[in-house]
């Protein structure tokens, strides 16, 4: 039987969640997204906790969605409607978690990996971090609810650099752009993330929970209808998406046609 792809540990009143597919830089397939949600929901229900730390095994946070699994899990409208819903619920489980969540960002936090990091309340990163969202390399459209979290954090201009340019930031750049709460040496990322979690845990948990939900609540509901949200899955019906995935898997550069 294989090792679980998400591990859990506890140090005092802090939970530590480890993404554990180091051979693929902790890339997420559908079942791992589901495991993340289940994990976060269980931790959220545990009122004895004060903080949650997310980290990746093997020196990387996460390379995002597992493109090798696309052929099976995505690629038709029907499959994408399911995949997108699982992804959305998984991302929201971090935002909705009762406790503050800290991301310990070593190595790569790319695509959905960067997406997970932006759902957290705090991000600690190292100088050699590679942070970016590569949806535009594959002809994917990033979901409205995840774009909105970025805009609320760093504004529209930095969000455009991330999504439209597809820029990959190193740690220093990510810090300057407001994407990291803290920048430290690479070998201190996990130590600093745990120290930050301990500081958070030393404060009033009811205050932390109130303030976390207040930040969500003040956003109000998004001006996006369910139909518009679903229309954003339409990229799976473009030629460009299918060609780009094929090119990626063949280690070729995709040629986009705009259709």
Q: Work out whether 130 is an interface residue with a copy of itself (CB under 8 A).
A: no
Q: With binding defined as CB under 8 A, does residue 89 bind a copy of itself?
A: no
User: What DSSP letter does each residue of 4-69 carry, written as one string?
Assistant: PSEEEEEETTEEEEEE--GGGTT-B-HHHHHHHHHHHHHHHH-TT--EEEEEEGGG-SB--B-GGG
Please select the residue that binds a copy of itself; options are 199, 246, 249, 252, rule is CB under 8 A.
199
226-234, long-range: CB < 8 A, 24+ apart:
228/144, 229/143, 229/144, 229/145, 230/81, 232/84, 232/141, 232/143, 232/144, 233/77, 233/80, 233/81, 233/84, 233/141, 234/77, 234/141
With CB under 8 A as the contact rule, the residue among 1, 2, 23, 221 that binds a copy of itself is 221
**CB of 164 or CB of 249, closer to a copy of itself:** 164
> Reduced to 3 states, what is the DSSP secondary structure of residue 104?
strand
Structure tokens, 63: 């390379």
Interface with a copy of itself includes 61 (CB under 8 A)? no
Q: Should residue 137 be labelled a site residue for a copy of itself when binding is judged by CB under 8 A?
A: yes
How near is the Cβ of 5 to a copy of itself at its closest, in Å? 28
Judged by CB under 8 A, the residue of 45, 164, 185, 249 near a copy of itself is 164
- Using a 10 angstrom Cβ sphere, with 0-12 exposed, 13-18 middle and 19 or more buried, the burial of residue 135 is buried
* Residue placing its CB nearer to a copy of itself in the complex, 21 or 233: 233
Q: 2, 207, 226, 250: which one contacts a copy of itself (CB under 8 A)?
A: 207
Q: How far is the CB of 175 from a copy of itself (least distance, A)?
A: 9
Residue 88 binds a copy of itself, judged by CB under 8 A: no
Among residues 35 and 121, whose Cβ is nearest to a copy of itself? Answer: 121
Q: Residue 215 CA to chain centroid, in angstroms?
A: 18
Asked if residue 240 binds a copy of itself (CB under 8 A), the reply is yes
The residue count for the chain: 259
Q: H or E stretch including 122? A: strand 122-126
* Residue 40 or 196 with smaller CB distance to a copy of itself: 196
Q: Does 52 bind a copy of itself (CB under 8 A)?
A: no
Least Å from the CB of residue 253 to a copy of itself? 8
Which 8-state DSSP code applies to residue 223? Answer: S
Query: Considering the rule CB under 8 A, would residue 224 count as an interface residue with a copy of itself?
Result: yes
Residues 6+ apart with CB under 8 A from 259: 238, 239, 240
Q: Whose structure tokens read 């991301």? A: 103
Site for a copy of itself contains 152 (CB under 8 A):
yes
Residues in contact with a copy of itself by CB under 8 A are: 47, 100, 121-123, 135-142, 144, 147-149, 151-161, 163-166, 177-179, 181, 196, 199-200, 203-208, 210-212, 214-215, 217-224, 228, 232, 235, 238, 240-241, 244, 254, 256, 258-259
């Amino acid at each position: 039987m294989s090792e679980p792809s998400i591990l859990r540990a506890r140090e005092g009143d802090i939970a530590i969640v480890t993404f554990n597919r180091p051979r693929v830089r902790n890339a997420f397939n559908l079942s791992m997204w589901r495991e993340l949600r289940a994990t976060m929901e269980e931790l959220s229900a545990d009122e004895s906790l004060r903080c949650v730390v997310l980290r990746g095994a093997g020196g990387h946070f996460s390379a995002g969605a597992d493109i090798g699994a696309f052929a099976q899990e995505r690629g038709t409208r029907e499959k994408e409607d399911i995949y997108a819903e699982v992804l959305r619920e998984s991302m929201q489980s971090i935002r909705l978690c009762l406790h503050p969540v800290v991301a310990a960002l070593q190595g790569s936090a790319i695509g959905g990996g960067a997406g997970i990091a932006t759902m957290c309340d705090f991000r600690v990163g190292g100088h050699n971090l590679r942070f970016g969202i590569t949806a535009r390399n594959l002809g994917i459209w990033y979901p409205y609810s995840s774009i909105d979290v970025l805009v609320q954090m760093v504004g529209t201009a930095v969000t455009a650099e991330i999504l439209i340019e597809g820029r990959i930031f190193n740690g220093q750049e990510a810090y300057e752009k407001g994407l990291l709460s803290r920048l430290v040496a690479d070998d201190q990322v996990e130590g600093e993330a745990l120290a930050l979690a301990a500081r958070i845990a030393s404060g009033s948990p009811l205050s932390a929970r109130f303030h976390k939900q207040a930040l969500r609540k003040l956003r109000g509901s998004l001006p996006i209808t369910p139909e518009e949200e679903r229309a954003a899955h339409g990229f799976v019906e473009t030629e460009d998406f299918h060609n780009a995935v094929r090119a990626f898997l063949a280690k070729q550069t995709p040629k986009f046609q705009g259709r």
